Structure 1
Amino acid sequence: MVLPFLRKRSKIIEIVAARDIVFALAQSGVCAAFSRETNQRICFLNVTADEVIRSLFYNKNNDSLITVSVYASDNFSSLKCRSTRIEYIRRGQPDAGFALFESESLKWPGFVEFDDVNGKVLTYSAQDSIYKVFDLKNYTMLYSISDRNVQEIKISPGIMLLIFTKVGGHVPLKILSIEDGTVLKSFSHLLHRNKKVDFIEQFNEKLLVKQENENLQILDVRNAELTEVSKNEFMTPSAFIFLYENQLFLTFRNRTVAVWNFRGELVTSFEDHLLWHPDCNTNNIYITSDQDLIISYCKADSDDPLSEGNGSINISNILTGKCLAKIRASNSFPVEEQCSCSVKCGCSSKTQSNASRIRSRVAEALEDITALFYDEERNEIYTGNRYGLVHVWSN
């Protein structure tokens, strides 16, 4: 690797598991693949010496990993996507993949978004203001949307919401079929003229609209029925997670998590789930596929004598808010540890090489976790920290 920052240890920002392989992406742009069978690093996914990987997506439709990268040779200006089958990575052949969406110009503020629920990919070319929808199974382009007045697109199961440029006291909206782009409904929503729009979100037939210092509005687009939630009860969150299985949604604000229904009622407040990071990095949060559990890196108990400077991994029931289990510094079991550095690091006495299997204390492993993933098949939690180490918590 020729770029100096790729050779330096940096914090883990994303972890993805597929089959028996754990992928760890560092902030520097280095991505390493580890085998859970041998507990050894298999390979790096950076195919060229100037590649900086920005994000990962496991495509379960064809058992492949998609990497989204930028390159020094391009002044890091354009996103490039590559699909590599898991079997090739297992053999240590990350260069056996192929490029995706080569016809698209994904220069900033262009983007690519992977929609696992609908099995679609959305790209946006800022150069010509064109959105395109691709099939996630075979990457065939399905249709395009060309309208310079489209400000944002929100994706829900089966549909897309197009949010257009605000006109006077209202915002034009369209609901499209995600499958073929057919317009299902066109309408406008009245706004307070001089108030900033905090968010507009779509969940099935429900439209959520919040303006600065105003009540939350929940509009049923089928019958125009409007529900309002007091601005004192519902304050603008920093992030949402929609729970499609349970017809609920999670909000994150000031380290706290809450569960709401679409009648505007607070369903759950968590008894012991104060998040460690104030900015709600969703890479530190995992929702199980049944959408009944949330696993997060949280503030540790103040009565834990070993918790100073460390957090805990809390597992809570989403519907009841009860804390079911936690991993904290006072636990005494050992954990396995892997280093994601691109060179033999010798960064600390406990790390002997860049692919060594070593042991560390739980308190050390719980220090400043920056990424978390739960492998539901293996019943294991993987965490990465600011030292560039990946830890395996196995039952």
Structure 2
Amino acid sequence: MEARRVSANPRPSCVRRVLARKRPRPEASANSARKLQRREIAAFPCRAFSASTTRERFRNIQLQEEYDTHDPKEMGALLPYLMKRSEIVEIVGASDVIFALSQLGVCAAFSRVSNQRICFLNGRPDEVIRSLFYNKNNDSLITVSVYGSENFSALRCRTTPIEYIRRAKPDAGFPLFETESLRWPGFVEFDDVNGKVLTYSAQDSTYKVFDLKNYTLLYSISDKNVQEIKISPGIMLLIYSRKKGCIPLEILSIEDGKCLKSFKHLLHRNKKVDFIEQSNEKLLIKQEGENLQILDVRSFQSIEVSRSEFVTPSAFIFLYEMQLFLTFRSRSVSVWNFRGELVTSFEDHMLWHPDCNTNSIYITSNQDLIISYCKADPNDPSSEENACSINISEILTGKCLAKIKAGNLCKQKKASKFQSTPSEALGDITALYYDEEREEIYTGNGQGLVHVWSN
């Protein structure tokens, strides 16, 4: 599960930092052997087998089910504007339950067993759900909401066991972090990689770290000079207020908050900082009009990448196991290593959404595949203008291994129980999720419909 930060801003920015899912760790010896194999012989036979099985897995994929998040009869208790149809902005799968969140803040749960809607999760008429997080530590769903009675400016978190949702009892959960004031510009961030929750109360400039397993408070950080916190496996980067010619930085252990390293990074005067990002022991620092700097915080050795080669992206995804990172800019995706080298430029992979909407992108837990909603290749004479597809591409090579497109779905007829034809379902995707256990793709569209695609 990706780390997700939810701000109390009533109009949040579409740009957000996303951390790729981390695969479960095997025994250290086996993990070391795998890394050595990958480094020394590049595991080409394994990669070829993986590519072939991926193609087979998605070869005959078809539209299987359709769910509707809009039901005026059951939504009658909500505020009038919440009862309108709106696009799906987030999908989360938890075992045999699919959760779909609409732009207006209505969340519906659907069963893959009965193929019916189970319930709506909005517990109050004025509740607007802003984000969802599946906590696999205790098999529960956390909803982050705002309420009209609070002018939609304070975040409220609630956890509900999946089992109770299956029984259509969404009210059986309980609130989280009730003592925290999460008004704008406060936020809450769920970090599945480290199993932590980070909250920020702007009222007293306090950051707090909680255990994601039982929600107990681990420690607090109270310092008005801390401008931002970045989370990486095992550590946190504290970014302090900029001073003349430098910016103070501090690295803490995420388990107990103890300081591991404190230092200052020199900056060019009178130039704004485009971004400071962290991945393990590497810092990525970019100022306006300057080269990208990749700093190793252990040795303090620095690598520079020309500003003409590395243009400031709109979003990042860090692949911690692979020691790579993805950058998103306009409709393109690129893969870089921490030596500042471009590893991959994807073939036939022009994203449909120009705003780098990461809700329509999924990275598999092995960090080997990226599943994205894409536009047709403009250089492909066989593609129609404005044609769209779901592309499954290999991250290390950039090759498109499989594609779900309208041409392959034309033989599938519209089922009487569906509102959409397969081509229509593919034509307006606003959110995408891949269930790796069930090997199913879930998509949501602008009409508030959720579609299930499987082989």
Whether these two folds match at TM > 0.5 is yes
Letter in 2 for 1:214: E
TM-superposed deviation, 1:75: 1.3
Return 5+ residue gaps in structure 1 as ranges: 338-349, 351-356
* 1:358 partnered with 2:358: no
C-alpha deviation, 1:49, in angstroms:
1.3
Is 1:146–2:222 an aligned residue pair?
A: yes
Q: Secondary structure at the match of 1:360?
A: coil
Q: Say whether 1:393 aligns with 2:421.
A: no
Tell me how far 1:2 sits from its aligned partner: 3.5
Name the counterpart of 2:256: 180
* Partner AA of 1:188 in structure 2: K
* Counterpart position of 1:313: 390
Distance 1:81 1:314 in 2: 34
Residues 350 and 377 in structure 2, CA contact (< 8 A), matched pair in contact too? no
Task: For 2:390, give the aligned amino acid.
Answer: I
Evaluate the alpha carbon distance shift between residue 215 and residue 51 of structure 1 in structure 2; reply closer, same or farther with a 3 A threshold: same
For 1:234, give the aligned amino acid: F
Q: Which residue of 2 aligns with 1:381?
A: 441
1:280 maps to which of 348, 356, 361: 356
> Within 5 Å, which residues of 2 pair with 1:1-395?
1-301=77-377, 307-332=384-409, 334=412, 357-358=417-418, 360-395=420-455
Deviations 1:132-181 (A, max 9, x none): 00000000000000000000000000000000000001000000000000
Q: Which amino acid aligns with 1:319?
A: L
Q: 1:193 to 1:50 in 2, by over 3 A?
A: same
Quote how far apart the aligned CAs of 1:305 are.
7.2
**Deviation per CA, 1:166-214, whole angstroms, max 9, x where unpaired?**
0001000000000000000000000001111000011111111000110
Calculate percent identity across the aligned residue pairs: 76
CA 1:159–1:142 in structure 2 vs 1: closer, same or farther (change >3 Å)? same
Structure with the bigger percentage of strand: 1
Structure 2 Cα separation of the partners of residues 336 and 240 of structure 1: 38
Alpha-carbon contact 2:375-2:386 (below 8 Å) kept: no
Aligned mates of 1:274, 1:370 — CA distance in 2: 15
* Alpha-carbon distance in 2 for matches of 1:319, 1:173: 32
Deviation at 1:368, TM superposition (A): 2.1
Higher helix share: 2
Question: Is the contact between residue 30 and residue 52 of structure 1 (CA under 8 Å) also seen in structure 2?
Answer: yes
SS in 2 for 1:28: coil
Q: CA deviation at 1:52?
A: 0.6
Residue 245 of structure 1: how far off its partner (Å): 1.1
User: Over aligned residue pairs, what C-alpha RMSD do you find?
Assistant: 1.5
2:78–2:124 contact (8 Å) kept in structure 1: no
The alpha carbon displacement at 1:307 in A equals 4.7
CA contact (8 A) 1:123 1:131 kept: yes
Say if 1:271 and 1:229 are closer, same or farther in 2 by CA, change over 3 A. Answer: same
Change beyond 3 A, Cα 1:240–1:374:
same
Q: Secondary structure at the match of 1:326?
A: strand
Q: Which amino acid aligns with 2:327?
A: T
TM-score by length of 2: 0.81
Q: How many pairs are equivalent?
A: 377
